[in-house]
Amino acid sequence: MAMLDHADTFIVDVPTIRPHVLAMATMHAQTMVIVRLVDADGVDGVGEGTTIGGLSYGEESPESIKSAIDTYILPILRHCDIACVAATMAKVEKSVRGNHFAKCAVETALLDMAGKRLGVPVSELIGGGRVRDSLPVAWTLASGDTARDIAEGEEMLDRRRHRIFKLKIGKREVRDDVAHVGAICKALGDRASVRVDVNQNWTEAQARIGMAMLHDVGCDLVEQPIAGDAIAAMARLSKGQPIPLMADEALNGPRSAMRIASAHAASVFALKIAQSGGLFATADVAAIGTAAGIGLYGGTMLEGGVGTVASAHVFATLPDLAWGTELFGPLLQTEDILREPLGYADFSLAVPTGAGLGIAFDEDKLAFFRRDRTSPILH
């Protein structure tokens, strides 16, 4: 039995190492909502709710995530035995619709506490438990400049940090985007897998042409080329195009996974803990994908250390992760808010082995980057 003693929810803004150019926004900083829970025995747990570009990616903003947690979720937790994570989240589900990012942050913190109490990593509390200790990690080339992207890709290969590259396209004319992808495929050759993410920015007609052209220049995968709710059109593209289509924005938890699988609308799922509504829900999405013969990829919302590690614990429970992961979020930030930075080596991320999430904050950095204390520079 564990009762909530106190909670702290705050927004943290950390600059990015370079502008990150996506179809719907250019990021110069990443904004993370951190929730910290402490129970009556003094056991604490942390969670993260992070989106991209304010409200330009999804329906929750950092401010709405914080408000949903403080106003609606924490009061429910005060009447729960928070040692029972699934039962607590089921209670939250009854009173709070949607708000997947906020729920994910809270569920992460509860699982961190539960793992610490039981002396096991969070990965042992998900599905059948951990089956792998490291995860292949992609990097996104999104400087907005082809030559700079090629140089960055070469550097990542030299450092043996990444050999899977995701290119963010969809902002320019289809032909210009394909030329950009083709130049990178040509430069990196068979030393790397090159994939693209259109972030819903094409029409079906553009996607039909774009996907065929991308296949011809050596691209391996196209992520969310058209609107995420255009399931029938995604199915037409999946059937008609030689290049695999990965669902990202279309996936918002197990029911959407079931709809996409039944419609044959994607051949790969980008699993995201926040979009799915939490770690348990992500495992359910993965199970639906696997049962339907859909390949799995460990996605990111470019979270910092907490959300990245929470995702890693879920992905470490998946026996089939054919497309690897993109858990590089902390590497895009100028400063790591964790005391021990995550272990990136040999094209992989090491999944922490300590109890709970297995991480701790650098409290000084956290205090510096907290929006409500000392970091007015970015807003």
User: Residue numbers of the site for Mg ion (CB under 5 A)?
Assistant: 197, 223, 248
Minimum Å distance from CB 300 to ligand MUC?
5
| CA-wise closest residue to 24 among 141, 170, 175, 130 | 170
Nearer to Mg ion, 48 or 223 (CB): 223
Whether 168 sits among the annotated catalytic residues: the reply is yes
Q: Which residue is nearest to Mg ion (CB)?
A: 248
* 197 counts as binding ligand MUC under rule CB under 6 A: yes
Nearer to ligand MUC, 68 or 246 (CB): 246
The catalytic position among 168, 223, 272, 303 is: 168
Whether 272 sits among the annotated catalytic residues: the reply is no
In what helix (H) or strand (E) does residue 35 lie, and over which residues does it extend? strand 26-39
Q: Which two tokens stand for residue 92?
A: 């939250």
Nearer to Mg ion, 48 or 197 (CB): 197
Select the span of 109-117, 177-185, 186-194, 297-305 touching ligand MUC (CB under 6 A).
297-305
3-state percent breakdown (helix, strand, coil) of the chain, nearest 5:
40, 20, 35
Task: Sketch the per residue contact string, 199 through 218, with ligand MUC: x for CB under 6 A, - otherwise.
Answer: x-------------------
Q: Which residues of 176-194 are buried (b: 16+ CB within 10 A; e: fewer)?
A: ebbebbbebbebbeeebbb
Q: For the chain, where are the alpha helices, taking DSSP H only?
A: 62-68, 74-77, 85-95, 100-118, 146-158, 174-188, 204-216, 231-240, 254-262, 273-276, 279-291, 305-315, 363-369
Select the span of 28-36, 172-180, 275-283, 296-304 touching ligand MUC (CB under 6 A).
296-304
Question: Of 118-157, which residues contact ligand MUC (CB under 6 A)?
Answer: 140, 142
3-state secondary structure of 37: strand
Asked if 338 contacts 153 with a C-beta cutoff of 8 angstroms, the reply is no
Contact footprint for ligand MUC (CB under 6 A): 52, 140, 142, 166, 197, 199, 248, 299-300, 302, 326
- Residues with catalytic roles: 168, 326
